[in-house]
A and B are shown apart, each in its own frame.
Chain A
């Protein structure tokens, strides 16, 4: 390929990467963590909440009494199918942050419990979708869609730049004196080997964030104004069951609903039933679950009439006979983004691909800085450009601030449980406090000192996660607890903290003994 073409794509790669990289780092790190959202939820759920279950066979009685006593549950309530033939029922009261759960006592009387459980996992999920950009969910998603357009450009241009030397460079990781070469080799090999994953992410995030814009343009130039009616008629989440005048509104038992879904798709395992408008004409029940054999949207789901058990929409029910090819393709687009197929191996695969993606963006920023380095000549360490000091501080502040903030806010889900009134507000406060303070710290101390000190912080707060569980196990009187089903979170946090400690050692060593004509040397000025 012509060298001037390569040069222009190198410029495109550099500038799209530097603009999009840090937002993508946050999205990928938080996204990797979000792959285990359910386990994180287990980790922050106090043991008392595990008592809020009842045998699935009791569900009709619990539902009936809940609907009679709590009108808010009629609008929407969730019946979760728990392990070992149990179930739990919860709903939201307007104006209250926590959910409420219902069970029956020994005499068959309804008992309600306010759930204090933390929403740390959802907070991290939203962080993943918006990179924590202020201004609300839609603004964050819109910004991330534009970031993803740049990300797509960066992927194409990066591949074009690498193509001429692909065979030579791909399997070479030149560890040695030339640190820039080593980082570049690592950046290239991670980028090329996980390219399909990145293509999926770039394209899907543009679709998620800009779908409303694309739909409104398509409505005008393709569908002649009929699109919103089509979208509404095919909405797989919300619909109204056909209303029969004078018909019954008595709900069928959840077991009958599960049986109706299973009749449609025998291998599908329903996990939760979300009832909307129960007790009124037109009620629906949304059945979500999983069949790991399929590329299914969110694991797969169907919408039914909770009175008759008739299926209203099964387009996204994996293995159902009445789905069409367009629905299957749509399922695949969603599934490929969320990793909602193939069960645990894919979950772990996406986790490591997500972390590798975070590394890709971090190393991209490092390479940007290294490419602008002024080399040492003579005795004086040269003053580097302002832009490189700035970028060094911003890169370590944002990346380590994000990692430390996520660890801190997750640990707070256990440490602060029962100690503060509004835990979900605390999750946001803690994350943003750690994140913004880390950025400020990196600018005050400079990239070199900042990176070492912030790695110490990251190691420390990540250790808080297993420490909170260990304290809960040894001293249950503290109000903390150890949840064996979520021990993986503690183990991963411990391994993560070990990795951060190793990075801390390597970074400190480099800052002290590495070349000082660099923004990463201790003798570097802060700006």
Chain B
């Protein structure tokens, strides 16, 4: 995140603040994003959702997204920001999934 140099050093939000809140945001938000990403893979790639073993690749996509987001969650300046950004990303992800499902299925 961006360094806020105007405020005095003592008040500056640091990445080590709210580690528990950030961790939980990363774990839940990361899982949600992983699921949304796998859903987009299922609907936006060529072939029907039930083509041979596409479901396997969709499952295997979840762990890398999940771990990636979990790792990145410590970059946020505060726990609240982590929840807000990841919550927003999840809403966007699942909205895209709903669109993809609506337009590309059948």
Residues on A lying within 8 angstroms of B by beta carbon are: 2, 4-5, 7-9, 11-12, 149, 152-153, 156-157, 202-204, 206-207, 210-211, 214-215, 217-218, 221-223, 226-227, 230-231, 233-234, 315, 324, 326-327, 329-330, 333
Q: Is the interface of B mostly helix, strand, loop or mixed?
A: helix
Question: Which chain B residues border A217 with CB–CB below 8 Å?
Answer: 35
- Chain B 87-104: CB-based contact to A (< 8 A → 1; otherwise 0): 000000010010001000
Question: Quick check: A202 and B67 within 8 Å, CB to CB?
Answer: yes
* Complex partner residue of A214 from B43, B57, B59, B97, CB under 8 angstroms: B59
Question: Quick check: A207 and B52 within 8 Å, CB to CB?
Answer: no
**Is B60 part of the binding interface, using a Cβ–Cβ cutoff of 8 Å?**
yes
Given contact pairs A152-B70, A324-B51, A4 touches B15 in the complex (Cβ within 8 A):
yes
Residues on B lying within 8 angstroms of A by beta carbon are: 3, 14-16, 19, 27, 34-35, 38-39, 42-43, 47, 49-60, 62-64, 66-68, 70-71, 74-75, 94, 97, 101
Question: Quick check: A222 and B54 within 8 Å, CB to CB?
Answer: no
Docked Cα-Cα span, A5 to B35, in Å, equals: 28
Excluding A211-B59, A326-B53, 17 further A-B contacts by CB distance (< 8 Å) are: A5-B15, A7-B15, A8-B19, A12-B74, A149-B67, A152-B70, A156-B71, A157-B74, A214-B35, A218-B35, A218-B58, A230-B55, A324-B47, A326-B52, A327-B52, A327-B56, A330-B57
6 smallest beta-carbon distances between A and B, as pairs: A152-B67, A156-B71, A206-B63, A8-B15, A330-B56, A326-B53
**Taking the nearest CB of chain A, how far is it from the CB of B76, in angstroms?**
10
The 24 listed contacts between A and B (C-beta, < 8 Å) are A2-B3, A4-B15, A5-B15, A5-B75, A7-B16, A8-B14, A8-B16, A11-B16, A12-B74, A152-B70, A202-B67, A206-B63, A211-B59, A214-B62, A215-B55, A218-B35, A218-B38, A218-B58, A218-B59, A222-B35, A315-B52, A324-B51, A324-B52, A327-B52
Docked Cα-Cα span, A324 to B50, in Å, equals: 13
Docked Cα-Cα span, A227 to B58, in Å, equals: 12
Chain A minimum-CB-distance residue to B55:
A230
* Complex partner residue of B53 from A206, A207, A330, CB under 8 angstroms: A330
Query: Which of B19, B27, B60, B94 gathers the greatest number of chain A CB atoms within 10 Å?
Result: B60
**Taking the nearest CB of chain B, how far is it from the CB of A489, in angstroms?**
34
Docked Cα-Cα span, A444 to B95, in Å, equals: 58
Query: Which of B3, B39, B67 gathers the greatest number of chain A CB atoms within 10 Å?
Result: B67
Question: Which chain B residues border A330 with CB–CB below 8 Å?
Answer: 53, 56-57, 60
Question: Quick check: B55 and A4 within 8 Å, CB to CB?
Answer: no
Question: Quick check: B38 and A206 within 8 Å, CB to CB?
Answer: no
Chain A minimum-CB-distance residue to B38:
A218
Question: Which chain A residues border B51 with CB–CB below 8 Å?
Answer: 324, 326
Question: Quick check: A207 and B63 within 8 Å, CB to CB?
Answer: yes
**Taking the nearest CB of chain A, how far is it from the CB of B39, in angstroms?**
4
Question: Which chain B residues border A210 with CB–CB below 8 Å?
Answer: 63
Docked Cα-Cα span, A223 to B38, in Å, equals: 11
Question: Quick check: A324 and B53 within 8 Å, CB to CB?
Answer: yes
**Taking the nearest CB of chain A, how far is it from the CB of B80, in angstroms?**
16
Query: Which of B16, B43, B50, B55 gathers the greatest number of chain A CB atoms within 10 Å?
Result: B55
Docked Cα-Cα span, A152 to B68, in Å, equals: 8
Docked Cα-Cα span, A185 to B6, in Å, equals: 38
Question: Which chain A residues border B16 with CB–CB below 8 Å?
Answer: 4, 7-8, 11
Docked Cα-Cα span, A108 to B72, in Å, equals: 69
